[in-house]
Amino acid sequence: MTKKDFIIQFLEIEAECWTKRQLTDLDDFNECIKKLYSMAIDRLDQGLGIYYKKELVFDENPVKYKPRHLYKLSTYINEIYGDIYVAYVSSTTTDTDPKADTIFEGFIVGEIEDELKIIGTMVRYKNRSTMKVEGWKPSVYNPSDLDIDKLGKFISTERYSEPSNRDNFSLEEYLKDK
């Protein structure tokens, strides 16, 4: 499986989980979560933002989530993990989500025991006093040896879809070779 195919599959399963979270089949929802978690290292489960449930609250007007937009995929050589990839994506999306067209999060992918896995995440950082997006911050669930400020030697970027620039961050970040 290519790194892009892995990310696309991960994003599709994630959207499916968010949609199933609003429905009544608890076992189906938890199976979906299990499949999503299997695509990440164990320590990162809670960092994916969606959790196993003991009961579901039925939503009378459930929303169908779409997979996030994949904007670009950057390759680095990391001292610890070897080849790693950062997938720059939108937020989880619905038809009415205003953040759906901007870069919101980065999923860091590496090969663990010959299998691609999400090994970390980073989220854009917004200054609370100016409400301006100023950069990236790591997930608190990332492994302690994964430093988003030192991903490694940049190799290349594949660009797929251009984000909007309504946050004065996304387009600039998209165009950077990083």
Per-residue pLDDT of the chain (178 residues; tens, 9 = 90+): 999 999 999 999 999 999 998 887 899 999 999 999 999 998 887 788 888 888 877 788 888 899 999 999 999 999 999 999 999 999 887 666 666 789 999 999 999 999 999 999 999 998 889 988 989 999 888 888 899 999 999 999 999 999 988 888 999 999 999 9
- Burial code (b: 16+ CB inside 10 Å, e: under 16) for 108-125 equals bbbeeeeebbbbbbbbbe
Nearest Cα to Cα of residue 136 among 106, 164, 163? 106
Judged on CB neighbours under 10 Å (0-12, 13-18, 19+), 74 is buried
* Per-residue tokens: 76: 């680095």
**Size of the chain in residues:** 178
Q: What pLDDT is attached to residue 55?
A: 82
How are beta strands 82-89 and 70-78 bridged, if at all? Answer: antiparallel
Q: What pLDDT is attached to residue 99?
A: 60
Nearest Cα to Cα of residue 104 among 129, 117, 119, 122? 122
Q: What pLDDT is attached to residue 82?
A: 96
Position 130 in a domain: yes
Position 124 in a domain: yes
Position 111 in a domain: yes
Position 6 in a domain: no
What's the one-letter identity of residue 152? G
Cβ pair 159, 174 in contact under 8 A: yes
Position 28 in a domain: no
Q: What pLDDT is attached to residue 166?
A: 82
Position 90 in a domain: yes
pTM of the model: 0.93
Q: What pLDDT is attached to residue 136?
A: 94
- Domain of residue 112 covers 70-175
Position 106 in a domain: yes
Number of domains composing the chain: 1
Position 86 in a domain: yes
Q: What pLDDT is attached to residue 94?
A: 67
